[in-house]
Amino acid sequence: MLSAAAQNPRLLLQRGGRKFNLQKCRRRRHFHHSLQAVSSFFPQSETISSPSSSSEILTIRKSLLSRERKAVEIAQNYLNRLRSTEPQIRSFLHISQNVMSEAEQIDRKIERNEELGPLAGVLIGVKDNICTVDMPSTGGSRILENYRPTFDATAVRKLRECGAIIVGKTNMDEFGMGSTTENSGFQVTANPWNAERVPGGSSGGSAAAVSARQCVASLGSDTGGSVRQPAAFCGVVGMKPTYGRVSRYGLMAYASSLDVIGCFGSSVADAAILLEAIAGHDRFDATSSKREVPEFSSQLEPAEFLDSKPLKGLRVGVISETLGDGVDSGIVSSIQAAASHLEELGCTVKEVNVPSFSLGLPAYYILASCESSSNLSRYDGIRYGNQIAAEELSSLYGACRANGFGSEVKMRILMGTYALSAGYYDAYYKCAQQVRTLVQKNLKASLTENDVLISPAAPSPAYRMGEKKNDPLAMYAGDIMTVNVNLAGIPALVVPCGFSEVGPSGLPIGLQIIGAAFDEAKLFKVGHVFERTLQRCRFVPPLVDKDV
């Protein structure tokens, strides 16, 4: 079968016997009870946990409930690390001034023996295209510089209701258009593993912040891979949920039929807890699903309770088109090693063909550009955007957009406008929609025969800064592993699976696990078992390794 990589760390399977079951709590108000029950199964550790600990969120909760730590102490530890690493990483565009006061409120609740929310004391970063009422939300664009929304996005509101502390707004490619975070209108974020490398994009700031342990977890958005590719580059876990699982209300629209809000965490358990908190129907978003949200976190077993074949009977398909020409040899070796490890865990692994896979990339960029051309028309200096003095309305529009938008955004707007214009609509947009239908059918067929599909999250490790900036086609090609998932509207999870040979300590490589629509629970289970049984892999960048 598939051979393991020579440079990949040895994959060992931890063995155990006992399993556990948790009482099901279906209502959101019982979410904290579920977490409290789950936390008893995980070992307690320091505030900033080691990779051997399954969930930093549960560790924080347990330390607060036992009164071994105070929320202000935990918050101060993260803020100290943020301040010491931020000059080099530049993950954040804005830091909240309310972190310590919110932490003090949590400590007062504990003193009064009041009930704590399930995310109490957990510092979470929010991508800058997700609206927050008390902080600027610029979408990484100068056209919205200093814009402060009058409301929280639904996902942010749900986090606050669960007791989370929003630590700040993370850097991103302007309006989500880019794969390196170099297209931000404000600053360039560095990869915590190597400051000369990019963190990926467009949610590079959110991924880098979690990787550098500047916050516990973070929110990003994923239109064509903007959560999964940065997660792979930065060595963290990234979840892109099913389209409609999480409300898009308050998410600045790039391509409305593709956009989703996703989660970053340093473990699968943290990503599962975060998604469970923000998922669910929202009356403000007609595209949000009314499906019941499973208790993702309660289905994750600690490594010591796993039996020798915890994934026995699971059918795994390796997408053969993702391991061919153009894919870095170290990436191929790591994915083959991951497939072998899944076999050790009891999975039946085979290669599968997805014939339309290579067609997804051009179809995605046509559709996304067309939708962005429509969505970004609202930034005209009157409805939204900084106004420029002009004598005529057309001059006002032109000056506002010329000064406010970056080059990548302008190019994609022009591409989309051209594809939608008379005489080209059928040749481009209509054809791309037909390809999208084909991609959906092919992936659905593959997921009927297999429980999950796996592939690399990106065809190479993190790029050098500037390597792709002046070659947009090369940058677009880097999204080939992820865009099909968005076209199909299905979920995908990225977990670190090994290292490349680039640099003194190597760069992280991410394994993408793809599932059927609304089957996030299965992805979390597979990813959690894979993560917990992957030994001798410490996915903490050297920048902060000495502190965690």
Active site residues: 127, 202, 226
Q: How far apart are CA 200 and CA 16, in angstroms?
A: 37
Kindly report the backbone phi and psi dihedral angles of residue 246, in degrees, each rounded to the nearest multiple of 5, phi listed first.
-120, 135
- The sheet with strand 92-95 has its strands ordered as 92-95, 165-170, 123-127, 217-222, 260-265, 237-240, 492-499, 508-514, 452-456, 315-319, 348-352
In 10 A of CB 324, how many CB atoms?
10
Give residue 432's identity as a one-letter amino acid code. Answer: A
Q: How far apart are CA 484 and CA 450, in angstroms?
A: 17
Cβ atoms of 31 and 277 within 8 Å: the answer is yes
What distances in angstroms separate CA 106 from CA 96, 123, 124, 214, one per listed residue? 17, 12, 15, 20
Q: SS3 for 93?
A: strand
In 10 A of CB 536, how many CB atoms?
9
Cβ atoms of 166 and 215 within 8 Å: the answer is no
Q: How far apart are CA 42 and CA 246, in angstroms?
A: 27
Q: How far apart are CA 181 and CA 174, in angstroms?
A: 8
Q: How far apart are CA 144 and CA 234, in angstroms?
A: 28
Token couple for 42: 């995980």
Q: What is the dihedral of CA 456, 514, 536, 326, to 10 degrees?
A: 0
Q: How far apart are CA 300 and CA 271, in angstroms?
A: 12
185-219: burial string, b at 16+ Cβ within 10 Å, e else: bbebbbbbbbeebbbbbbbbbbbbbbbbbbbbbbb
